[in-house]
Structure 1
Amino acid sequence: MVAQTERENIRESTPEGLDTAFRKGKHGGRPPVVTNDMLRTVLRRRASGESVEQIQPDLIIPTGERKGPNPSVASIHRALAGHAEREACPGAVEAAHADVAALNDGAVPEPRHQAEVLKSR
């Protein structure tokens, strides 16, 4: 009975702790291998005509468990895809954060219409 009560307490307190951490700007999970500085370098060099395969050997992971070696080509492509998504809908991330905060506060976010989505582009 005590173990069951403890599990219920953990189940209730975990979302509260995650929400508090999110509001403080902390995010769970492994930090990204491709930093913002690396991404800017990749974007600049791609604009000058270089391929990801040519750029990859010159990049070095600055921190974390894999500090030192080069990021994989797949990691660079994932970072570029994420950047393209953020550029396509710049307000989408902020809107998603607002929706999550509303859900955590017990409110139901209003649906967005296609015209509103297109305005944010």
Structure 2
Amino acid sequence: MSSKKLPHLKPLATICLPPAVFCIIEPIMFGLPVVMNGFLLVPFILTHTLTGAFTYWLTSIGFVGKMYMNLPWATPSPILGYLAAGGSIGGAVIVFINFAIGMVIFYPFWKSYEKAEVAKFNGETA
């Protein structure tokens, strides 16, 4: 996120980071907002669908151990992946792979959103 282009989102990023580490994403969902945002709704759905299918495939071939533990929802993701998969390193690794997939999917949509927000901001200040 470019704080120079969208200075009003910098405080949101600072506030949302600590809760996001513990899987509390409501500040992002409703603060950004992802909810009811045409720019971010498509990658939100696409990312979760693709990473879910990818994780299922990696589990079926044995890269990730089968999930069998139910852990508290606020467990940080890499720890959750490792423990839920019975101590499988693949469970922790897949978290970072899925994060990278999400970043690749979200990037063009974020740039479009950023461009529209900058145009709206410049139109209001002119």
TM-score by length of 2: 0.28
The structure with more radius of gyration: 1
* Greater helix proportion: 2
Give TM-score, length-normalised by structure 1.
0.28
